[in-house]
Amino acid sequence: MNKRILVLVFATLLLGLFFVPETAYAQGLLSDDATFFPGVSFEVGATDDPEAVVATLQVLFLVSIIALAPSLLVLLTSFLRIIIVLSFTRQAMATQQMPPNQVLVGIALFLTLFVMAPQFTAINENAIQPLGTGDINIEQAIDEAYAPLRDFMYHQLNNNAFGSDAVALFMDLGGVEVDFESGEHIPANVLIPAFIVNELMMGFFMGFMIYLPFIVIDMVVASVLMSMGMMMLPPAMISMPFKIMVFLLAGGWELIIVSTLQTFW
């Protein structure tokens, strides 16, 4: 069936490439010297104005930052910890792909927007809007946009036991000696990887705590099945409905989400 679909698509493309131009010529829609496919050209010209070169490089740098925006959203915000906790919750309940990955990513994205609302507001007011009006240049806009994220990352590193160890680790690896008492003095090449490692450790620690009650349910179900002589019956198939029932009766999603969000303040 898939081969037939591919053949049909390929035949349609051939008809469009060869017969549509001929029909257009026959009906007088295209002249004899006209080409059916539009031409594309790319030219690089010389300039004697250094400011034009600097402006072009700034635009290219800004486009590069925009291309990296999804990675920055994942790694420099609360998204990483939230998606790890939600993924561990789904695996602990052994519900396979329910909720689907798209749903988990959507939930993590909107929760990230909720947590990072003050930082995003500050970035919009201090960086994006002044850059649009021409009050600041690109370098100043980047500094203003990084400041709220830097304060957020420093607060998270300073808010748990893993953070100081992660900063000390990357300071030692990079040969950097700065005061940890202020996030402004920590360079970005130390603060950002330390924050990422801290989020991974926090996410996995919370995932381990989520796993514990579900492991207890699995052990109880397995013991009951063995005592009844049902050793051939998979314990996971029997324990999954009980885990879902306990999770729903305890208000599991609300507890997981609220507990995760409270770790950011």
**CA 50 – CA 56 distance, rounded (Å):** 10
pLDDT at 111: 92
pLDDT at 155 over 70: yes
DSSP state of 124: I
Structure tokens at 82: 């939230």
pLDDT at 241 over 70: yes
pLDDT at 19: 43
- Encode pLDDT of 168-190 as tens digits: 788 878 777 766 666 667 888 88
- Encode pLDDT of 24-62 as tens digits: 444 444 454 545 445 555 455 555 555 555 556 666 666
Considering the chain, what is the average pLDDT of its residues?
Answer: 75
* Total-model pTM: 0.70
Tell me which residue of 131, 92, 112 sits closest to 212, measured CA to CA.
92
183 vs 126, which has greater pLDDT? 126
- The answer to whether residues 187 and 196 touch, using CB atoms and an 8 Å cutoff, is no
- The answer to whether residues 196 and 72 touch, using CB atoms and an 8 Å cutoff, is no
- The answer to whether residues 148 and 119 touch, using CB atoms and an 8 Å cutoff, is yes
